[in-house]
């Protein structure tokens, strides 16, 4: 009987480790989004330097950190995320790119940043959508 109990504990160990890793990743993801919402560039830098994969974390709506910075029109954080390799063409759950959600300051940063893959087509489409949807001309 004791051998059976030990085997059950051994089987549940990988599950417990997996759950702990998932919980830790979720907390780290939440931390970068909180730093962006608070406008804390120093904290964002600290988090990205310690874990470059944090650029790819997503909210429940599949927004990346760049989407949130764009939505809040924080050009300093957006510029930093782009310099560190954030995907400016990443669609969220509604298929919006960061440019489609951007305020004026971040939109200018996104339009003038160095080209990434297929950026020209996406920027043209987004600029048209941004002008039509927000009634602004970039």
For residue 136, pLDDT over 60 is answered with no
Helix, strand, coil in percent for the chain, rounding step 5: 70, 0, 30
Query: Any idea what the CATH number is for the domain that residue 49 is in?
Result: 1.25.40.20
The boundaries of the domain holding residue 109 are 2-134
Asked if residue 45 lies in contact with residue 85, where contact means CB atoms within 8 angstroms, the answer is no
Cα 6 to chain centroid, rounded: 42
Report yes or no on whether pTM surpasses 0.85: no
How many distinct structural domains can be found in the chain? 1
CA distance 124 to 127: 5
- Amino acid 10: pLDDT: 52
CB burial of residue 94 (10 Å; 0-12, 13-18, 19+): exposed
- Of the pLDDT bands very low, low, confident and very high (cuts 50, 70, 90), residue 116 is low
CA distances from 4 to 1, 7, 9, 67 (A): 5, 5, 9, 50
Higher pLDDT: 31 or 16? It is 31
Mean pLDDT for 7-11 is 54
């Amino acid at each position: 009987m004791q051998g059976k109990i030990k085997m059950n504990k051994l089987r549940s160990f990988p599950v417990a480790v997996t759950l702990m890793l998932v919980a830790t990743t979720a907390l780290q993801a939440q931390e970068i989004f909180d730093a962006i919402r608070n406008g804390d560039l120093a904290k964002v830098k600290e988090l990205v330097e310690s874990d470059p994969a944090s650029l790819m974390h997503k909210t429940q709506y599949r927004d990346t950190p760049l989407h949130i910075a764009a939505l809040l029109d924080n050009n300093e954080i957006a510029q930093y995320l782009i310099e560190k390799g954030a995907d400016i063409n990443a669609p969220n759950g509604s298929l919006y790119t960061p440019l489609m959600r951007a305020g004026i300051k971040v939109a200018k940063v996104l339009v003038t940043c160095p080209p990434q893959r297929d950026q020209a087509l996406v920027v043209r489409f987004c600029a048209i959508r941004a002008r039509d949807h927000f009634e602004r001309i970039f």
